[in-house]
Amino acid sequence: MIETTRGPGLLEAARAALPGMVTIRRTLHRRPEIGLELPETQRAVAQRLEELGLAPALGRSVGSVTALIEGQRPGPTILLRADMDALPLQEDTGLDFASEIPGAMHACGHDTHVAMLLGAAQLLTERREALAGRVLLMFQPGEEGYHGARFMLEEGLLDVGNGSHVTGAFAIHIGNRYENGTINYRPGPLMASGDTIRLTVRGRGGHASAPHLAVDPITVAAHIAVGIQTMVTRTVDAFDPAVITIANISAGTTTNIIPETAFMQGTLRTVSAQQRSAVRERLPGFVAGIAGAFGATAELELEPGYPVTSNDADICELVAADAAALIGADRVRTLPAPIMGSEDFSYVLEKVPGAMVFLGAAPAGVEPESVPQNHSNMVVFDEPTMAVGAALYAGVALRHLAIS
């Protein structure tokens, strides 16, 4: 590989491109969009790609954008991904570029992801002679619970043609829980699967003064909520964990009526496909058994969410090596355990070996534990750190294509 494509030279080039990244990041931050259709964001991304001499392709069923950077020599394709959607949240940061859209905010840093990947696109188009293959840029909507990556795959995201195959995938997620400017990663499970639990308990209504003449669904729901925790601790391997949280229970209308039904909902998280499947198979019988013991019934709905986000060990090694060349080995940290949040880049990693890492972006000089975190209405990210992200996107692509 050409030496100027990695290490300090690439990071210096990214820092020179930082003003442009800040501009587009702030443009997107002012105009956040939620879900699968992001028309303003899509136009802004496509326009910047065209300015770089690329040919953006717009999604057919969702508001996605893709583009290919063609290298000077033939070879495989690496996918680089940035998510673009915002959260339904009212921003209270007081920034002079704060959201202008009521009830919408880029509180998870997806605006910085877009800016970093566009910065990387600039670095890579300037270094086409070093590319032995192609770089597929993936700008996706609907990461925040809308399965945007899955829709893009169904549209043929990985069908790049010309005899080339996508042999690697890489994504960066910014975060305030990590020290500024560090890269944080782990091989294997990085983030959990996330399924939604909805449960309706049906009993028999009656007067609150005569519970023996009714079947109280609230009592049954309480036993189910507590019993599920016992099920987890007594049937799930502690070294292959599962988390079930019942986050909402609603029932009844007043003080002297036992209602007929109680509704519960929550989340199931695991860090392996095997445990996810096992718990999903076990839960219906467990819930039905508790309800039946009280003479009630329970209707359980398990809505599949994102799969486990699992990093490929070889890609992780490549990313760590490139990150160390960029910022120093002491700034590259291995995470001790998976994170129980979920991420739809998992759909891509089920198809292609790849990795996601976390870029620390707590404001400089501030302890990460003391600042508002991702998904907070007060979260603020350190913009200069975006240069590290852009350089890493580009460096990983160059390194992967050089050794493939």
Kindly list the averaged pLDDT for each block of 10 residues, start to end, along the chain of length 404.
55 97 98 98 98 97 97 94 98 97 97 98 95 96 97 96 87 94 97 98 98 98 97 95 97 98 98 97 97 98 97 97 96 96 97 98 86 94 97 97 79
- Which segments of 203-335 are extended strands (E)? 206-207, 242-251, 257-258, 261-270, 297-306, 309-311, 332-334
Tell me the CATH number for domain 3-190+308-403.
3.40.630.10
pTM for this predicted structure = 0.93
Candidates 37, 126, 299, 383; catalytic one? 383
Query: What is the structure's pLDDT at 162?
Result: 73
Q: Is 185 a catalytic residue?
A: no
Q: Is 383 a catalytic residue?
A: yes
Tell me the CATH number for domain 193-304.
3.30.70.360
Candidates 306, 343, 347, 393; catalytic one? 306
Residues 310-325: tens digit of each pLDDT: 999 999 999 999 999 9
- 193-304 has the same fold as 3-190+308-403: no
Report the candidate in 396, 397, 390 with the shortest Cα–Cα distance to residue 19: 390
Sequence ranges of the domains in the chain? 3-190+308-403, 193-304
Residues 374-386: tens digit of each pLDDT: 999 999 999 999 9
Computed on alpha carbons and rounded to an integer, the radius of gyration of the chain in Å comes to 24
Report the candidate in 119, 201, 192, 180 with the shortest Cα–Cα distance to residue 338: 192
